[in-house]
Structure 1
């Protein structure tokens, strides 16, 4: 029986490693991570490289200097220094009050105010409908959502399953057993940890989407348009 399982697994692995058929045509793909750490970009670069290797044309907008030399990938750095990964230490910020979320509350509205005045960004925005699809770094990148208006798009949650984004897309995760990414709990949860987990499930969306971050970002984007 064990040998049958091993044979099946081997077949699955070999088929996964096999070459995919060539794409129907070359597509133009825009990847947006205007507010990103190097670790976030490290999630997107394999995606960009895989698409480029398949012959697609990829444009990537970020706050980081270009790194790839792939002929099918064009990286655009908007140059704003409000979230400069070379001058901030996220691990140190996490130790401070109010921590990372307070830092983003401070930097995201100014980025939204300035981003669409950057010539390279303005040019991409005006050309957005030339692209076949847009891929957006979901975490901290609400400033890029105007690009997705009336466009097919994909969001990628770099830290893993984000229960907030999942709920927005219609898949509400049960806080009785689905953990949040701010605080870990031993599973299965007891009554106290479930109550605490429910608090985090409710607190962050209200804080982020209804009060501290998304409303001021929307206001700045509206004023910039």
Structure 2
């Protein structure tokens, strides 16, 4: 009986035990932007909570008490924004090659600063087998050097779209008419002008990355990861990629098995402060929430834009909560409450919010959709202009170009969106589409991360299109064979026809000669 009791107890204990294969994971999320980091934070947190040993290089650490999570804080990278002017980098005024080169210049400055960090330098001293998986932000080509450093598989994450050259490396179609690049600000090529513009943009970006950015990034990466490193393009194409997308913003491009989409539906992290909650609760007439995100600063905005914005907000019959660089300004209207930082998700979730004025970043747009809040979009840079077009075409937003912005236009546009119920109704319909997902984005990415670890890189998912040259991809050799075959066939037919014609011409001539000979005789 004692033996049976001991056995029973062992079985009961073991029934509550499951095997966890803990992996050593390195995360590198380089871009100093809170909205970008918010997409990645739940992923590295969930991996740590599942028992993996996670080391993360980040500009925005969680600073939570998770025993097997180590965060290397590189928040000083935010200082890079002081040396670069983002607000005027728009497709309408900047050639595509200059736009791409500008972003690469910023990425290089950030990368250099972060790689010189003491804790990052210590990571570079670790042995080659120190990590089983590397997770990184996909837009920094130099970051793929970590794959060579630790000889580990890579899962690359994008907090918004994927540029044309990355699609090309993984074998995805890069047809400029069907799938315009997300930075081109073209959603669909409906006119000849759109087609020419998209083709020009796609080819410009492709050549710039291939022949300028690629070699420069490769040379810089070798200074940190070693001269024996394979070319960065080869490391990038040998990775799995996740793109933060959803049915509203997806470019609907068919993708190879190693490129997937996930939806970064984020839970509300922050709560309203007591004074902010009081402002929202007491605003019975409604609230207008104004925020241009973290990368567009009012001290970068030129001309009278700041004055016009504040004047327009003061004209509104609503309470206005506004993210600004300071808590107060000269001539601040009584209905406007300024804050340097706001818990955006918590604000948007409040029922009194009638309109959200935004720059159109993907994360802000998604948070507005989730909370069914109509938008007025003032797009400045990156993917914002395209997002603005998508939101407007879907009926939940109106857009204003920064160049056209004035007091009357902003005021009237806000009032239109706030007062017409069709904008909010459409926002609710888009919310239902957005949230109708079989699996959360975090669960999807984490599952595939563990899949990549289990199958040592999951190379079986790699498309053969990633390993062939443009010469073979466009079947130049096959086309040449067909052309040569048609040419030879034509020449043979031409020769046979000439012979036949010659034979027919020769017979009458011979008959004429024969007839003349008979007459002489």
TM over 0.5, shorter chain: yes
SS of residue matched to 2:135 = strand
In the alignment, which residue of structure 2 is the partner of 1:130? 130
Structure 1 residue runs of 4 or more that deviate by more than 6 Å after TM superposition: none
From 59, 63, 69, the equivalent of 1:68 is 63
CA distance, structure 2, for counterparts of residue 54 and residue 32 of structure 1: 19
Task: Report the count of equivalent residues.
Answer: 200
Q: Which residues of 2 match residues 136-151 of structure 1 at below 5 A?
A: 136-139=136-139, 141-149=140-148, 150-151=151-152
In structure 2, C-alpha distance between the alignment counterparts of 1:185 and 1:160, rounded to whole Å = 13
The answer to whether structure 1 residue 39 and structure 2 residue 39 are counterparts is no
State the partner residue of 2:199. 198
| Contact 2:132/2:153, CA 8 A, preserved across alignment | yes
Q: What is the CA deviation profile of residues 105-128 of structure 1, one whole-angstrom value per residue up to 9, with x for unaligned ones?
A: 434444555554433112223336
Q: Is the 2:138–2:157 Cα contact (8 Å) retained in structure 1?
A: yes
Q: Indicate if the aligned counterparts of 1:112 and 1:217 stay in contact, CA closer than 8 A.
A: no
CA contact (8 A) 1:134 1:148 kept: yes
Partner secondary structure for residue 129 of structure 1:
coil
Distance 2:187 2:161 in 1: 18
Instruction: Give the C-alpha shift of residue 80 in structure 1.
Output: 5.4
* Structure 2 Cα separation of the partners of residues 205 and 120 of structure 1: 35
Structure 2 unaligned spans of 5+? 1-17, 227-521
Whole-Å Cα distance in 1 between the matches of residues 19 and 86 of structure 2? 42
* Equivalent residue number for residue 154 of structure 1: 155
- Structure 1 residue 120 corresponds to structure 2 residue 119: yes
1:54 corresponding residue in structure 2: 50
Which consecutive residues of structure 1, in runs of 5 or more, have no partner in the other structure? 1-21
1:173-188 equivalences in 2 (<5 Å): 173-187=174-188
Look up the match of 1:164.
165
State the TM-score, normalized to the length of structure 1: 0.72
CA offsets 1:134-184 (integer angstroms, 9 cap, x no match): 011011x22222111132111112212433212101223322211211133
Give the aligned partner of residue 7 of structure 1: none
Structure showing greater Rg: 2
Taking structure 2 as the reference length, the TM-score comes to 0.34
Pair 1:104–1:152, CA change in 2 (3 A) = same
Aligned 8 A contact 2:57 2:74 in 1: yes
CA pair 155-147 structure 1, distance change in 2 beyond 3 A = same
CA distance in structure 2 between the aligned counterparts of 1:110 and 1:185, rounded to whole angstroms: 29
CA RMSD of aligned residues (A): 3.0
CA–CA separation in structure 2 for the residues paired with 1:67 and 1:88: 27
Question: Does the residue aligned with 1:222 lie in a helix, a strand or coil?
Answer: helix
- Taking a change above 3 Å as real, the CA distance of residues 122 and 179 of structure 1, as seen in their structure-2 partners, is same
Higher RCO structure (Cα 8 Å, ≥6 apart)? 1
Q: Kindly state the Cα deviation for residue 100 of structure 1 after the two structures are TM-superposed.
A: 5.7
